[in-house]
Amino acid sequence: MTATIALVDDDRNILTSVSIALQTEGFLTRVYSDGETALKALLDNPPDLAVLDVKMPRMDGLELLRRLREKSMVPVIFLTSKDDELDEALGLAMGADDYIAKPFSQRLLIARIRAILRRTEGAPMGVEAEGQEAQLPIERGRLVMDPARHRVTWAGKPVTLTVTEFMILETLAQRPGIVKTRNQLMDAAYQDDIYVDDRTIDSHIKRVRRKFREADPEFDAIETLYGAGYRFSDE
């Protein structure tokens, strides 16, 4: 099934050029030039992935992402101003799966889109593609993760994670007690030899912790080992 990508940017040159590039790669595209118009469309008819710019009229990308996350977990790639660390940190903290700084390479954007879409693929009801085994749930103490359904619970309470957050937590939970370096978590969450810096992983970990603490204020299962990485404890 052909994936649909929503592009939200007030720069019509970017909308046109990126849309053409994506269509050439076999994607369907929908384009929006302001956040307010995009929000309604993304909620009424969700795409497979959305690419959001920060600075737009009527509703900027940060507000669009915040309001989108209230009702939808559609994967989001966030476009930030070059070297604007505040935009990047806010975007990741609010639930973006990835970010790319402008000016950006269309090849890089397409690679990031493909990587995220591959992580979102999976048949419902635990049935995998032909020739593959079903992904079994992971149970670690009070944590239960169901990769086939993209569901997470802590002590029976649901926890909603983005695709990237899910991949990072799954990597930690698969081997409790084992320290995973930031590079190992990057490899799990960002495929195709795509590089992201340490701050990106740290931002995702902080958001995962915050979400679990909304379900359990005493949550401390994700441990930081300074200078080494992170590990999951199911004790």
Question: pLDDT 10s per residue in the chain (235 long)?
Answer: 689 999 999 999 999 999 999 999 999 999 999 999 999 999 999 999 999 998 887 888 889 999 998 898 899 998 877 555 556 666 676 778 888 878 788 888 888 898 788 777 643 323 333 333 446 789 999 999 988 777 899 999 999 888 788 889 999 999 999 999 988 888 777 655 455 556 778 888 998 999 999 999 999 999 999 989 999 997 6
Q: Name the CA dihedral angle for 1, 92, 189, 157, rounded to a multiple of 10 degrees.
A: -80
Among all chains, which residue has been given the structure tokens 């720069």? 11
* Under 8 Å between Cβ of 59 and 36: yes
Chain-centre distance for alpha carbon 229: 20
Q: pTM, whole model, 2 decimals?
A: 0.62
